[in-house]
Every structure is written in C-alpha cells, then in structure tokens.
Amino acid sequence: INPEKIREIIGKGGSMIRKIQEETQTEINVEDDGTVEIAAVSGDNARKAIQWIESLTRDVEVGALYLGKVTRIMGFGCFVEILPGKEGLVRIGELADYHVPTVEDVVSVGDEVMVVVTEVDRQGRVNLSRKAAMQRHLAKEPV
C-alpha cells in the first residue's frame, strides 16, 4: 500500500488493525514501506482482510457514484460514509433538486443514499451530491 495510508489501517491507538484481525481471525503486519503481510488459517478470512484493507486505503474518486450511509445530520447538510472510515458532506442544497426546508425532511441517520463525489479539497475533505446522483439515475447513465 501507499505508505501514507498506513495510518488508515492502524487506526487510533491500533484500534482499526485490531478490529480487522479480530473480525477476520488473521494476523496482520504492516511495514514502514507499506508492505502488508496477512497470515490466516482460512483463505476466506485472508480475502476478507485484504478486501477490508483495500477499502480503507482506496482513494475517493471525483465523479464516482457511491452508496453511502448517513452518519450525522447538521443544519447545513449531512455527513455520509462512502468508504469505511471515509465521510463526505452533502450540503442541504445538494440533497434534492427541489427546495429542502430541513435536512431531516429528506434523510435520517442510518439511511443509505446514492451520492456523487463532486470535490476533494486540498485538505482532503470530500464534498458529495445526492442531487447529482438522482439526476444521473434519471438520465439512466451507467452506474
């Protein structure tokens, strides 16, 4: 993996790597150069650990469509987790192609929503649009 992504796998205080190891029944070693070694008794568990690590280290693509889960609601929009540990903001004006009085009129925490990544800023913050995802679906563009 990219060495800059090591912290995504390790997590705060090693919490993420411990969770991956416990849930996949594997032993994982991450070297400083980004080499990841996975030891498992079962091939299925090894594949689960690999998929989990790939999803944690995958880069968000501008223009890509994601199925995400609403994690928090604020007055100005909602946060949606589009990849494990990766959230983006859907501003209230990007929730629908009509006027939305309050965020709660459209989504609730835990809802699964289709969103399009509209921007990843210099600080790595992800901006999302549910409106663009709906328009793409209506236009029947390939997903």
| Domains along the sequence of the chain with CATH | 3-57 (3.30.1370.10), 65-138 (2.40.50.140)
Residue 133, burial from CB neighbour count under 10 angstroms (0-12, 13-18, 19+): buried
Confidence bin at 140 (pLDDT 50/70/90): low
Q: Is the pLDDT of residue 139 over 80?
A: no
pLDDT digits (tens, 9 = 90+) for 11-57: 899 999 999 999 999 999 999 999 999 999 999 999 999 998 988 88
Q: Given this model, what pLDDT does residue 141 score?
A: 53
pLDDT digits (tens, 9 = 90+) for 86-116: 899 999 999 999 999 999 999 999 999 999 9
Q: What is the 3-state secondary structure (H, E, C) of the chain?
A: CCHHHHHHHHCHHHHHHHHHHHHHCEEEEECCCCCEEEEECCHHHHHHHHHHHHHHHCCCCCCCEEEEEEEEEECCEEEEEEECCEEEEEEHHHCCCCCCCCHHHCCCCCCEEEEEEEEECCCCCEEEEHHHHHHHHHCCCCC
Query: Is the entire prediction scored with pTM above 0.85?
Result: no
Q: Given this model, what pLDDT does residue 142 score?
A: 53
Confidence bin at 8 (pLDDT 50/70/90): confident
